[in-house]
Structure 1
C-alpha cells in the first residue's frame, strides 16, 4: 500500500492492549472500589446526625450521596465520550488534514457511549426523587397549599408532556433515550465508514463521512444543549441560565480534548503513531489551551451578569455555592485548576510541544472539570451534606478506569491509523 511519497511508516499498526496495561487499569479500578466501599460504610454508620437540610426538608440518607456521585460521573464521562465523536466529526466538516493520523484516537472515546446510556438511564430510574426535586408529584398539586410550587408547575410540561404533570416524566426520559440512541448510531456509522475506507481506499468514504458528520453536528448542537438543561440545570429547577448549554459543552469539550491528548501521548510513548510528530501534539496543546480560556470566558460571563444584575432568583445559584462552608472553597479551586494553571503552564510554545507539560495539564484539567460538574450537581442535590470525600474519590477512580478499559479495548480492535485517508500525505508534512 506504500504509494504515498515519503512514507516509511507502518500504517497497519494495531494497539496491543496487553495484560500488563489491563492489570494496571484493573488495579486502579479495585483501589477505587475499595475507597468507594469504605466511603459508603462511613456514610452509613456516621450519617445519623444531619438535621433536615436544604434537600427538600427531609432527613438525609447516605445513599443520596451515592446517587449524586453516580450522576456526576455519568454526566462527566458521557461528555468525554460524546466529545470524542464530536471532535472527530469536526475534522471532516472542516476538511482538516493535520489530524488524519489522530482520527481513530478521537473516535475511540465514543466506545463508552453504550455503557454511558445504560448507566444514565438506570441511575435516573433508581434515584430520580433523590436527585431531581421536580419529580415529586405534590409540587404540581394546586390543592396542596403548602407544597405546591408555581414555578416548577410552570416548567412541568417540559418534563411530563403529553402526560399529566407529576406522573411519569415521559418527555424527559424520551429525550434521554433519543439522544443516546442517535449518539451511538452516529458513532457506529462513523466506525463503519472508517472500516470501509481501510479496506477499499478512494475518496468516496471521505465525502460520505463529511456529509454524515454534518448531520451529526446539527444533531449534537441541539442535543448537547438540551441534555445540559435536562441532566444538570433541572436539578436547580427554580434557577436558569441562558448560556448553560454552552457552559456544559465547554466543560465537556476541554475534558474530551484533555483525554484525546493524554491518549495520544500514551500511545506515542508506547511506540505507536510514529507519524504523529510534535507539530500534531502542539496542535492538541493549542486546542486545550484555547478552550480552557473559552470555558473561563463562559464561566465569567454567566457569573458577571448574574452578579451585576443581582436579581434574587438568579443570584441564589452562586450564593448557595459561595456562602457554603462545603462548596465555597471549591469555586476558587475550580478557577485555579481550569483556568489559572493551564493558562500559565501552556502559554509558551515549548510547553505545548512536550509531553511532560501536557500530561500534567491534561490530568489537572480532567480533575478540574470533574470538580466543575461536582459544583453544578452536588449543592442542588445534597445541600450542606455534600463535599469531596472517600466516596467521591473512589467513584471517580472506578468510572475513570472503567472508561479507560472500554476505550482501549475499542481502540485495539482496528488499525490505529486511517491508512487510506486522502489527507494522510498532508499530515506527514504538517509543520507549525
Structure 2
C-alpha cells in the first residue's frame, strides 16, 4: 500500500495556500471602475513624455477643433476605457479558468486512456491501472469546481462567455442565430450530463477493478470490457461537444470542425505525460516495483506519438483556415498571431520540436530523467496551448504572465496533487485480479 508522505502532503497544502493568496491578490488588484482604468491609461501615457509633449504642441497649433469633436472623442475614450475595464476584470477569472480546465482535462484524458486499455484488452498497461485510477479520481473534484465556475459565469460574475450577456446578444445577430444552443440553461444542463457520465464511469470502473482483485472469476473484468467500449462512444461525442461549449464558445463568432479533435490531442498527450511522471515518482520512492523500463518506454512512445498527432491537427487547422482566408474563420488566428505571437508559436516548439528531438531516440525513452524533463516541458507547452485558446477571447491584448496566471496554476496543482496521491492510498498499487496481469508484470520491449 502506498503511504502519502507528510512532505508531499505539506507541499500540496503549501501550493494551495500560496496559490489562494495569489489568486485573491489577482482579483483585488484589478481595477473596479472606468475611472481607475483611465488613471492607469494616463499613467501609461505619461511614460511617453516626449511624445506627449509633441502632441500637446501640435494640439496648441490646431485650435480649430469643434466642441462636437471633443465630445465625440471623450465618448470614444469612455467606451474604450469601459472595454479595457471588462478585459482586465476578466484576467483573474480567465487565469483561474485555464487552470481548472487544464487539470480537469488531464484527469479526463487519463480516464479515456484507461478506458481504451480495457476496451482493447491491453496487457502491457495493467500494472499502471492504479496510477491511472488515482489521476482520474480528480475528475469529481474538478467537475464540481468547473461547474461552480460556470454557474458564477452565468450569474455575470465575469464576462468570459459573451453570449451569456443579454446586452451583447441583443446587438449581435450571429449570436442570436445560435441562441437555441448557446443559452445558459441548456449550457449548464449539457455540462451536467457530460460530467455525470464521465464521473459515473470513473466511479464504476474503479469499483469493478477493486472487486476483481478478490473475485474467483472474471465477470467483473468482462463487465468492464463492455462498459468501457460503450463509455468511449459516449466520451467521443461529449468530449467534442465539451470543447465547443467550454472553449470554442468563448469566440462565439468562430468555429472549426477540427476543434474537438484538437482539444482531445492536447488532452491525451497531457494525460499520458502525467501518468509517466507519477509512475516515475512512485518508482523513485520504492513503489511500483513491477513497473519496468519497458512500461515507461511505451508511455514515452505515446508521448512522442501524440505530440506528433497534436502538431498534425494544429497545422491542419491553421493551414486550412489560413489558405481559405474566410473572414469569420481567419480572424481567430489573426488575433493570436498579432497579439499572442510568442506563446502561439512558442508552444509549437515546446509541444512538437522539443519532444521530437528528445524522444525520437529509443534509448532516451528508457531514461527516467529524460522522460521527466520532457514531460514537464510538454505539460508547460499544453498549458500555454489552453492559455492561447482562452485569453485572446477574454482579455484581448491586455494579457501577460503575472501573479494571477502563476497563482491559479499553483492553486489547482496543489489540489490535484492532494487528491491524486490521497487516492493512491486507498487500494493496493497492483490490480492483481486482471486475467492478463502476468503478461503485464513480465512485459519487455
TM-score normalized with structure 1 length: 0.89
Given candidates 303, 308, 315, the residue that maps to 2:318 is: 303
How many residues align? The count is: 403
Pairwise CA distance, 1:127: 2.5
Structure 2: gaps (5+ residues): 42-76
1:405 equivalent in alignment to 2:401: no
Q: Which has the higher helix share?
A: 2
Pairwise CA distance, 1:74: 1.8
Q: 2:90 — aligned with what? A: 64
Kept after mapping to 2: 8 A contact 1:280/1:430:
yes
Pairwise CA distance, 1:302: 0.3
SS of the residue 1:422 aligns to: coil
Q: 1:163 — aligned with what? A: none
Given candidates 365, 369, 376, the residue that maps to 2:378 is: 365
Bigger drift between 248-257 and 120-129 goes to: 120-129
Q: Distance in 1 between matches of 2:189 and 2:360?
A: 44
TM-score normalized with structure 2 length: 0.86
Q: 1:164 — aligned with what? A: none
Pairwise CA distance, 1:289: 0.6
Q: Distance in 2 between matches of 1:331 and 1:62?
A: 21
Given candidates 109, 120, 134, the residue that maps to 2:163 is: 134
Kept after mapping to 1: 8 A contact 2:90/2:160:
yes
Q: Distance in 1 between matches of 2:293 and 2:272?
A: 16
Pairwise CA distance, 1:30: 3.0
Distance 1:97 1:35, change over 3 A: same
Q: 1:86 — aligned with what? A: 112
What's the CA shift string for 1:53-83, capped at 9, x where partnerless?
8999463365421211121122211111111
Kept after mapping to 1: 8 A contact 2:221/2:434:
yes
1:15 equivalent in alignment to 2:2: yes
Distance 1:54 1:99, change over 3 A: farther
- Residues 142-153 of structure 1: pairs in structure 2 closer than 5 A: 147=171, 149-153=172-176
Kept after mapping to 2: 8 A contact 1:53/1:383:
no
Q: Distance in 1 between matches of 2:78 and 2:214?
A: 63
Distance 1:174 1:265, change over 3 A: same
What's the CA shift string for 1:179-234, capped at 9, x where partnerless?
11111111110011011111214322211110110111011000100000000000
Q: Distance in 2 between matches of 1:205 and 1:254?
A: 29
Distance 1:140 1:39, change over 3 A: closer
RMSD: 1.9
Pairwise CA distance, 1:428: 2.2
Pairwise CA distance, 1:108: 1.3
Q: Distance in 1 between matches of 2:102 and 2:80?
A: 24
Given candidates 198, 220, 235, the residue that maps to 2:250 is: 235
Pairwise CA distance, 1:307: 0.9
Q: 1:274 — aligned with what? A: 289
Q: Distance in 2 between matches of 1:56 and 1:260?
A: 45
Q: 1:344 — aligned with what? A: 357
Q: Distance in 1 between matches of 2:259 and 2:78?
A: 30
Kept after mapping to 2: 8 A contact 1:53/1:60:
no
Q: Distance in 2 between matches of 1:205 and 1:399?
A: 34
Given candidates 180, 189, 194, the residue that maps to 2:195 is: 180
State which structure, 1 or 2, has the greater radius of gyration over its C-alpha atoms. Answer: 2
Q: 1:49 — aligned with what? A: 40
Structure 1: gaps (5+ residues): 1-13, 142-146, 161-168
